[in-house]
Amino acid sequence: MLAATAVCVILFERLGFGAILGFIVAGVLIGPYTPGPVPVRAVDELQNIAELGVVLFMFSVGLEMRPEKVWQMRRLIFGLGSAQMLLTAAVLGAYMISVLQTPWESATILGLAFAMSSTAIVMGTLGERGELATEHGRTTFAVLMAQDLWIVPIMALVPILAHSTGQGGSTPLWQTLLMVLGVIAGILVVGRWLLPAALGYCAHRRQMDAFALVLFLAVLFAAWAVGQAGISMTLGAFLLGMLLSASDLRYQIEATVAPFKQTLMGLFFIAVGMSIDVGALLVLWDTLLIQVPILLVLKVAVLGGLAMAFGIDRSAAIRTGFYLSQVGEFAFVLLGAATVAGLLGSDGHTLAMLVVAVSMIATPLMVKAGIAVADRLGAAPTHAGAEPPADLERHVVIVGYDEVGQLVDLMLERANIPHVAVERDIAMVQAAKRAGRQVYFGNLYSSSTQEAAGLGKAAAVFVTSHDSEAAKALALTLHRLYPRLYVYVRVRTIADQDALVAKGIKHAGTGYIESTLSRGGVLLKDLGVSETDLGELLSMLRRDNYGLIRAAYAEAKRVRGD
């Protein structure tokens, strides 16, 4: 699996199609439907595990979406999202009834299944391309959230439609809705009070292994609970993440989740590829060659038109339509339930599953096509202005919130420069939060925390710590990882400063020399030294990079025999 995935991901990245398509193709190559020396047959077991990757991904998305931000998107989620589901299902259902002569019960379920899109593929692609904060990224996210909310009534519709073909019996819809409301209330209690208290306790005691265990237990509980209620597990994880979005621990939470999320997301896309029946694909290729493009075009046309009707910029509406043109992973579940209920025959089920899989594979091509069409119309993606300043480009990341970090924070604030501070001491973080400062708990050695703090897009980072060795090590690490980033670091001695400058960190500097010159200047002035003489003295001491001070220190070391 690792060998096939590595080759496919490198190849498809090189071709410009992105890593996601590489994962899917790797799954096709090693799946049970492809002949080869090492067929992997545990597809269902793999999919069950890999689903956790989607859960963790949506939890991470929730961490970026504060409740007030989601509330601001209510018109898109409940208006555009619901309209997209109903109109797309109606158009696709009408096409299947009139052209393909599909019974109306089967056409209704197929239309609703095909109206949904893949949360995992779409959000993964948006994240991979850095477009989550764009207008089309936010619109796409809103539609996906609405689709998740529609899962309950759609699943409830299967036995109702099947009743007309001899099937019946199901849990009343009102009981399902009551259960959903109870589960959401439980997640609100856990995410708002219980989980922050438990994570804060672990952080205070530096028990980071326990921190991770408590966090994963809470995420899995939220996903399992909503799954028991009959809706998408991703919705529960998203709600929990959203409740933690304003937490002091947000960056550390992201850093803890990220490695598992990335691995399991890759596994999910591999499992999608493994589920594709290559033999049936070769038999039905001519049908798929006609029906899949028709499906994609209809979804793009409906969603693009609706998005513009809801006031979305034309370029963003086009991109949204193309991003959401594929069929989502929930269709696998819905089509299986429809087949068991007698709404679909075995041949119809196989063809529908292949349509879903092929549409997923086509996503990178559709995204490229959407960009080309939008660019042809002369509009570029616009970034949403509601994002926090520290999440945008050209901001400053302050590492360490001691007295120096606090002073830099205040200076940046007064200069209206976007910035964010990261501190490893949870007590200091909480004290700063109570004072209204933008400080987060996290460790900048973690690549995930670096990503969460936006170091790849930042203009500069300022490192300060009472532990000079730790500050030097972190500055060197960040300089190697982000060579275009301006790294400012406060060190203890001139020797430390020179060592870092020699390694390319031009903005390393001691904290004590300038402060001593300043306070010493006040002393001399109070003792009667004139402003002119004082200015000349300070200029002389600063000349040639503190040349006189360096000479004095060197002589003192020689006398001591250091």
DSSP string, 498-556: HHHHHTT-TEEEESHHHHHHHHHHHHHHHTT--HHHHHHHHHHHHHHHHHHHHHHHHHH
Whether residue 469 is contained in a domain is answered as yes
Whether residue 547 is contained in a domain is answered as no
348-362, 379-393, 411-425: range with lowest mean pLDDT: 379-393
Nearest to 247 by CA among 256, 236, 234: 256
For residues 242 and 312, membership in a common domain is answered with: yes
47-56, 159-168, 398-407, 465-474: range with lowest mean pLDDT: 159-168
Angle at 410 between CA 406 and CA 413, to 5 degrees: 135
For residues 309 and 434, membership in a common domain is answered with: no
End of a domain among 342, 376, 410? 376
Whether residue 517 is contained in a domain is answered as no
For residues 364 and 411, membership in a common domain is answered with: no
Whether residue 411 is contained in a domain is answered as yes
For residues 335 and 418, membership in a common domain is answered with: no
From the centroid of its chain, how far is CA 548?
Answer: 52
Q: Could you tell me the CATH number of the domain that includes residue 473?
A: 3.40.50.720
For residues 306 and 410, membership in a common domain is answered with: no
For residues 413 and 340, membership in a common domain is answered with: no
What tokens does 63 get?
């961490």
Whether residue 555 is contained in a domain is answered as no
Nearest to 292 by CA among 276, 314, 309, 312: 276
3-state helix, strand, coil in the chain (%, to 5): 70, 5, 25
Whether residue 554 is contained in a domain is answered as no
Whether residue 531 is contained in a domain is answered as no
The helix/strand/coil state of 313 is: coil
For residues 217 and 109, membership in a common domain is answered with: yes
- CA gap 164, 217 in Å, rounded: 43
End of a domain among 349, 376, 403? 376
pLDDT in tens, 81-116: 999 999 999 999 999 999 999 999 899 999 999 999
For residues 366 and 263, membership in a common domain is answered with: yes
For residues 430 and 332, membership in a common domain is answered with: no
Q: Could you tell me the CATH number of the domain that includes residue 194?
A: 1.20.1530.20
Beta-carbon contacts of 177 under 8 Å, excluding residues fewer than 6 positions away, are 152
The arithmetic mean of pLDDT across residues 248-277, rounded, is 83
The β-bridge partners of 460 are: 396, 486
Provide the number of structural domains found in the chain: 2
Which structural domain range is residue 503 located in? Answer: 389-510
**How does residue 392 score in pLDDT terms, banded at 50, 70 and 90?**
low
For residues 94 and 122, membership in a common domain is answered with: yes
Run of H or E residues at 439: strand 439-441
Q: Between residues 448 and 320, which one has the greater pLDDT?
A: 320
End of a domain among 491, 510, 529? 510
For residues 367 and 448, membership in a common domain is answered with: no
For residues 345 and 416, membership in a common domain is answered with: no
Whether residue 383 is contained in a domain is answered as no
CB 28 within 8 A of CB 17: no
